[in-house]
Amino acid sequence: NGVTVPGRPATIVIFGATGDLTRRLLVPALANLCFDGLLSEELNVIGIALRDGDDESLRVSLDEFAPQTQCWQRLRQRTSYLPGDFTLGTVYERLKQRLGEGDAAFYLATPPQFFGVIVDRLADAGLTEEHDGGFRRVVIEKPFGHDLESARALNQRILSRVNESQVYRIDHFLGKETVQNILVARFGNAWLEAVWNHRYVDHIQISAAEAIGIGTRGAFYDTTGALRDMVPNHLMQLLSMIAMEPPNSFDAEVIRDEKAKLLRAVRRITPDEARSDAVRGMYAAGQVNGQMIPAYRETPHVDPNTATETYVALKLMVDTWRWTGVPFYLRTGKALAARDTEIVVTFNPVPYATFRETPVAHLPANQLVFQIQPHEGIDLGFLVKRPGPQVEAVPVALDFAYAEKFAVAHRTGYETLLYDMIMGDQTLFQRADQIEAGWAVVQPILDAWARGEGVLEEYTPGTSGPRAADALIARDGRQWHALGR
């Protein structure tokens, strides 16, 4: 009915409460939900971290990033701090005394090596047990494993202590309005779903480009790289939403079933395809928007001889009736021409017979662009006649921008996800089988690169990436959608 209600009273326990994720994203998102009337006035926040301090010291550290509203002042007074080493059991005994029997969610805003041990300690202390209709939930950030084997091991470890229904593997990309709107646009518009198949779609591009370099994240990034950081999680989720079959309801498990089925239908890459259909690059020194960026190998905390990629492009095929023969091109990278996350659906060209007597040399194909960031919206490109005596077709666009129609400013992308977690809606959260299916897609590429196969090509900052990526799509007679357009 379109009515949203405040979440039930609960306590959100944030492990890693003094870190950037908590201060810059989680707390502002909670404050925004409070302002929107979507949090219970009895919601409490408990921060846990190793740093010494008290309730007021944590509150002061959060003030810098939280919007200074009356709502934040109320939530601020219900925020407390529990210092201690969360690898040891003593913190959990003190936490148990504070929580009592109330509803609670444990948010693991920590480095990934602590995910398993925190869940173990929570379970050992009895903090994950649910009683009398109450809930105890665990929210886990990415990266969820660093390859297929480690992802399976982490799933097995966590699910041996809690149920899948209690686990919320969070992907902030899925909190973007345009990402969620993919499902509404696809299944709420008859004309769109009618052409959503191989008969009408030529190919689909999914891009996640950043204009910035690695900055101060060298130590993390050099052990991760663009492929692990973005493809098995963010880009696989976008792929599954754009290509999944229609669900028979918007029930969370029904949607997650369809997404998991789609990911399992992605054709497994052979060793030969891992060399021919995957491109990796690394940015050299240069400028982006007038800002000098040092070469990746010269970034602090990066091995000067590293072979870690800062760019990757892939060609994937999906073996379903709907998508047979339709290639999906994925790319992501740092220090590129623009910050731009988008999905571009390019339709098949119209038959040229109608235009054979006109001076039209080439008719650009219709495109539907889901713009996810930085400017959320949807663009539909189509052809019209240019005014004048001759029949000349030119492309134009119908543009929809969220910011022009709705109040979506000053959001972190975590608001919807945190609200859904409190309400118990797992639709936008990844299930164990989805996580493993995403890793299974990229594992042959990781294996090939570990064997030293594939050229690591340098590219200039401020461009669209390495030349090999252009060649990857050009050999099929196609080209990348321009970044930032």
Q: So which residues are the catalytic ones?
A: 234
- ∠ CA 184-383-474, nearest 5°, is 85
From residue 450, how far is each of 150, 274, 306, 379 by CA, in Å? 16, 12, 12, 40
From edge to edge, which strands make up the β-sheet containing 104-108?
A: 79-83, 44-49, 11-15, 104-108, 136-140, 167-169
